[in-house]
Chain A
Amino acid sequence: MSLPPNQPGGQNSETLDTFPKLLLNHAKVRGNKIAMREKDLGIWQSWTWSEVADEVRALACGLAALGFQAGDKLAIVGDNRPRLYWSMAAAQCLGGVPVPLYQDAVAEEMIYVLDNADVRFAIVEDQEQVDKLLEVKEKAPKIEHILFDDPRGLRHYDYPFLKSIDEAQEIGRKYDGDHPGFFDKIALSGSGSDVGIMLYTSGTTGNPKGVVLTNDNVIVTARNGIIREGLTENEEVLAYLPMAWVGDNLFSYAQSYVAGFTINCPESGATVMTDLREIGPTYYFAPPRVYENMLTQVMIRMEDASKIKQKLFHFFMDHAKSTGTRILDGKPVSFMDKLIYKLGNFFVYGPLRDVLGLGRIKLAYTAGEAIGPEIFDFYRSLGINIKQLYGQTEGMVFICVQPDGEVYADTVGTPAIDVEIKIDDNGEVLYRSPGVFHSYYKNPESTAKTKTEDGWVFTGDAGFFAENGHLKIIDRAKDVGKLSNGTMFAPKYIENKLKFFSFVKEVVAFGDKRDYASVFINIDLEAVGNWAERRNMAYSGYTDLANQDSVYDMIQECVEQVNLDLSKDPLLSNSQIKRFLVLHKELDPDDGELTRTRKVRRNFIAERYGPLMDALYSDVAVQHVETQVKFEDGRTGVLTADVKVRNAKTFTPVKAAS
């Protein structure tokens, strides 16, 4: 494939093998193009590539003046702020390694990572994070310097090691003047095989592991993704997912540096939806729950709309369901259907896309969890090209991507560029790619367990290739268990099926080595709350609502629907849900029940709610339970409730047609 020079993947791609080189090249080639925007005081502020290069230069020199050496780690903690992204580049300019951390982690969780990564320098967003790091510093004394972005509330903090980014840049500009040539030399001295970044995996069990990725891992993978999807320097991306997550690093940093497109930082975590609409990104990633929330919002608001509007909406949405996806996939559609779709586009689809902030979308990805087929089809029928991908931190995201025109709700697509995939005898998926990580930091045993000598990585996921050549993932390989009668039990599969109902927020399925499958359910407070409101049901909060009989009735219908589905599946028909309960509290990462990326920690939950587990596997109808909960300020309290347990109807397995 031949591409024009300075285009993504073009002739300079050989020499532009580090982030500083890419940055300086953009400053030269497209210096006046907007690289970054941030909404501040209600107005979108922007920085061009050459301005970003200047800011990064000042910050890098400032860090150097403070003693930052090649090989040093720079911890970065905070929301998606331009200056935190610049910090990543600044560290990389000096041959250092940025280590972004999850900003909502509490101090104790940070200690391990900061200590394990030998972090000497940290750049954080605001007072909240500074307070945490001051707490951490007592136990992780390796930290020598802390820089912060937002000075609010920090005026009286008098520590010699604490400075604002502004001060550091001030020092840096002076240092730069005193040491001419220093920055240009050091910024261009790196190479592709150097370590580019370290990302800690949240870890469902045990301590988090630092995934060491080289510049090549990140940049080559980012470039392959750009080539496969035909992305250009004109894309707009909203950076709103945690910076510590590999996806954000790829979509809002690496790919922007490779292609030269614009990153937009929202005003605050709470304004993301408004900002999304104002920016109208062309390239977008969101985990399934975001798409799910958007759809729920639309449906709730449609219920309150006038009858005519509702009729119009449902007529055109029904039409879109049958026609929209076919048009998107480039399949033949009759002239009449096309005409009605055009009309619908004018009245419903266009305005709706605009309200959702997806009016300019060329490409939208989702990954991380299974997405409900109805949700998936809803967006695709509107003409939004949403596709699933399958990835891992250890492979710098891309393993499989759904090709245009071959998008199915239940598969994750075909291997990405330069990725090889094989399935081992146990059904576990392995891959080999340019993105395969260097190692786990200071953890050779784990590295050896995950990565073979010749570069194959165990994903830990069980899956198989479907007849159409697409990879299908069932569950975590180690989570797939057996009921005591020997039937296969895939908890995630059951959980996902239930989570496709908008009333259900989280599910925890149990059944391994048990007589039957059973579930804990978290209702979706917003959806069920709205449902209750329309029925004039009074409730005081989550716990009260979750325990109402009519809510149980409704959830029971969902469970039985899932059982009916399961009964048709030859492998899983015997793992239908016999008993269920609605938990009296929402599962929360602060209580350790979910990981920071909101995955359920099944074993932990089973232990924590022991009495409820016992109730699921006995015949009691009501179980009293007391639970320790942690409030956001770190204090703890006790929540007591009488939780009901119900039996669900199961169905005789449907014999597969022979």
Chain B
Amino acid sequence: MNERNFGEVILDLKGISLSFGAMRVLNNISFNVKQGEIRSIIGPNGAGKSSMLNVINGVYHPQEGEITFRGEVRKEMKVHEAAGFGIARTFQNIALFKGMSTLDNIMTGRNLKMKSSMLAQAIYWGKAQKEEIEHRKKVEEIIDFLEIQAIRKTPVGRLPYGMQKRVELGRALAAEPEILLLDEPMAGMNVEEKEDMSRFVLDINDEFGTTIVLIEHDMGVVMDISDRVVVLDYGRQLADGTPDVVRSNQDVIDAYLGVSH
């Protein structure tokens, strides 16, 4: 594979601390994300990984620290800002519209890109019609990309878990994000499904140049596909660097393999 070059830092988190009451979930976390890389956040259960993602897309507001996004320093992200600036995400527990088809679910991901008025959309008239055809084309490209043509019209609730995960990824992609946040995209999958998903993550990064921030449990997957990894443990930051650096870090080894006291 070619040497991978990354662009500027597009997201920089400095000294992030987050508490819920007396419960300190994130403690002075600092790392950055560069344009076009696959950045992973790993750690055992309860390490604060999902909280970290929620800070990035503005669901949680940290008490301390600052976030620099696209050169602008701020104390916290706002949800609508995050979405508007091209941050899309998937969820640890699938959050799709179960009764709607794959196609319609992915179409909802285009929501922010729709310009015509609700009324015009409802009666499918004029510009709205043209717009919808364009959106549908984009959605079809995603369906083709994720190889889910066969379930295009199937209600999502009827699909197996691995497929639902793929549809959710499709919906996030439909927003044409700059940064894609994936919360445990491979949880609960078998080896084959994990491989498929890994390939899609790599392909998305490669084909669209999308920056990817990924939370994952499976160390093997993380080490294989990530450019840089940050390791959290009980809200603390244990390590940050390339998979090789992280793998040989003593704190990480202790946290994952246990240490005799």
The 3 closest A-B pairs by CB, nearest first: A270-B150, A41-B140, A271-B150
Q: Which residue of A lies closest to B141 (CB)?
A: A41
Judged by a CB distance under 8 angstroms, whether B192 is at the interface is yes
Q: Which residue of A lies closest to B153 (CB)?
A: A274
Which has the most chain A C-beta neighbours within 10 Å: B149, B195, B206?
Answer: B149
CB <8 Å contact, A633 and B137: no
CB <8 Å contact, B137 and A41: yes
**Beta-carbon contacts of A255-277 to B below 8 Å, as 1s and 0s?**
00000000000011011001000
List B contacts of A631 (CB < 8 A). 191-192
CB <8 Å contact, A42 and B206: no
CA distance A155 to B143 in the complex (A): 20
Judged by a CB distance under 8 angstroms, whether B1 is at the interface is yes
List 10 interface pairs A-B (beta carbons < 8 Å), by A numbering. A41-B137, A41-B140, A42-B149, A42-B152, A153-B203, A156-B1, A268-B150, A270-B149, A271-B149, A633-B192
Judged by a CB distance under 8 angstroms, whether A535 is at the interface is no
List B contacts of A41 (CB < 8 A). 137, 140-141, 143-144
CA distance A67 to B104 in the complex (A): 49
Q: How many residues of A contact B (CB 8 A)?
A: 17
List B contacts of A270 (CB < 8 A). 149-150
Q: Which of A621-642 contact B (CB under 8 A)?
A: 631-633, 635
Q: Contacts A268-B149, A631-B192, A633-B192: A156 and B2 contacting too (C-beta < 8 A)?
A: yes
Judged by a CB distance under 8 angstroms, whether A152 is at the interface is yes
B136 CB → nearest A CB, Å: 8
B141 CB → nearest A CB, Å: 6
CB <8 Å contact, A632 and B192: yes
Q: Which residue of A lies closest to B138 (CB)?
A: A41
**Beta-carbon contacts of A115-152 to B below 8 Å, as 1s and 0s?**
00000000000000000000000000000000000001
CB <8 Å contact, A153 and B206: yes
CA distance A632 to B193 in the complex (A): 11
List A contacts of B244 (CB < 8 A). none
Q: Contacts A41-B140, A42-B152: A633 and B195 contacting too (C-beta < 8 A)?
A: yes
List B contacts of A274 (CB < 8 A). 150
CA distance A337 to B155 in the complex (A): 41
CA distance A152 to B146 in the complex (A): 11
CA distance A372 to B95 in the complex (A): 45
CA distance A267 to B140 in the complex (A): 12
CB <8 Å contact, A156 and B149: no
Judged by a CB distance under 8 angstroms, whether B147 is at the interface is yes
CB <8 Å contact, B143 and A42: yes
CB <8 Å contact, B147 and A153: no
Known contacts A40-B144, A41-B137, A42-B140; 10 additional CB pairs below 8 A are A41-B141, A41-B143, A41-B144, A43-B140, A152-B203, A153-B207, A155-B206, A156-B2, A270-B149, A631-B191
CA distance A255 to B207 in the complex (A): 40
A650 CB → nearest B CB, Å: 41
Determine the main DSSP class of B at the interface with A.
helix
Q: Which of B126-149 contact A (CB under 8 A)?
A: 136-137, 140-141, 143-145, 147, 149
A474 CB → nearest B CB, Å: 39
Residue from A155, A268, A632, A635 in contact with B147 in the complex, judged by beta carbons closer than 8 Å: A268
List A contacts of B2 (CB < 8 A). 156
Q: Which of B103-145 contact A (CB under 8 A)?
A: 136-137, 140-141, 143-145
List B contacts of A153 (CB < 8 A). 203, 206-207
CB <8 Å contact, A152 and B195: no
CB <8 Å contact, B140 and A152: no
**Beta-carbon contacts of B167-193 to A below 8 Å, as 1s and 0s?**
000000000000000000000000110
Q: Total number of A-B contacts with CB less than 8 angstroms?
A: 39
Interface residues of A (CB under 8 A from B): 40-43, 152-153, 155-156, 267-268, 270-271, 274, 631-633, 635
Q: Contacts A152-B207, A156-B2: A267 and B192 contacting too (C-beta < 8 A)?
A: no
CA distance A633 to B221 in the complex (A): 14
List B contacts of A43 (CB < 8 A). 140
List B contacts of A635 (CB < 8 A). 191
List B contacts of A633 (CB < 8 A). 191-192, 195
A321 CB → nearest B CB, Å: 33
CA distance A274 to B195 in the complex (A): 27
Q: Which residue of B lies closest to A637 (CB)?
A: B191
CA distance A178 to B21 in the complex (A): 79
B102 CB → nearest A CB, Å: 12
Q: Which residue of A lies closest to B145 (CB)?
A: A152
List B contacts of A632 (CB < 8 A). 192
Q: Which residue of B lies closest to A150 (CB)?
A: B144
CA distance A274 to B150 in the complex (A): 8
CA distance A631 to B191 in the complex (A): 9
List A contacts of B140 (CB < 8 A). 41-43
Q: Which residue of A lies closest to B144 (CB)?
A: A41
Q: Which residue of A lies closest to B147 (CB)?
A: A268
CA distance A228 to B248 in the complex (A): 73
List B contacts of A156 (CB < 8 A). 1-2, 206
List A contacts of B1 (CB < 8 A). 156
A632 CB → nearest B CB, Å: 6
A195 CB → nearest B CB, Å: 37
CA distance A153 to B1 in the complex (A): 12
Q: Which residue of B lies closest to A158 (CB)?
A: B2
B135 CB → nearest A CB, Å: 13
CA distance A43 to B136 in the complex (A): 11
A45 CB → nearest B CB, Å: 12
B210 CB → nearest A CB, Å: 14
CA distance A41 to B192 in the complex (A): 25
List A contacts of B152 (CB < 8 A). 42
B218 CB → nearest A CB, Å: 15
B34 CB → nearest A CB, Å: 19
A588 CB → nearest B CB, Å: 13
B188 CB → nearest A CB, Å: 14
CA distance A635 to B195 in the complex (A): 12
Q: Which residue of B lies closest to A274 (CB)?
A: B150
B198 CB → nearest A CB, Å: 11
List A contacts of B136 (CB < 8 A). 42
CA distance A43 to B152 in the complex (A): 13
List A contacts of B195 (CB < 8 A). 633
A73 CB → nearest B CB, Å: 31
CA distance A155 to B202 in the complex (A): 13
CA distance A632 to B191 in the complex (A): 10
CA distance A267 to B148 in the complex (A): 10
List B contacts of A268 (CB < 8 A). 147, 149-150
B227 CB → nearest A CB, Å: 15
List A contacts of B206 (CB < 8 A). 153, 155-156
List A contacts of B147 (CB < 8 A). 268
List A contacts of B149 (CB < 8 A). 42, 267-268, 270-271
List A contacts of B203 (CB < 8 A). 152-153
List A contacts of B144 (CB < 8 A). 40-41
B241 CB → nearest A CB, Å: 24
CA distance A40 to B195 in the complex (A): 25
B151 CB → nearest A CB, Å: 8
B187 CB → nearest A CB, Å: 19
B36 CB → nearest A CB, Å: 13
A164 CB → nearest B CB, Å: 15
List A contacts of B192 (CB < 8 A). 631-633
CA distance A271 to B152 in the complex (A): 10
A530 CB → nearest B CB, Å: 15
B216 CB → nearest A CB, Å: 18
Q: Which residue of B lies closest to A268 (CB)?
A: B149
A549 CB → nearest B CB, Å: 27
CA distance A633 to B196 in the complex (A): 10
List A contacts of B191 (CB < 8 A). 631, 633, 635
Q: Which residue of B lies closest to A270 (CB)?
A: B150
Q: Which of B202-216 contact A (CB under 8 A)?
A: 203, 206-207
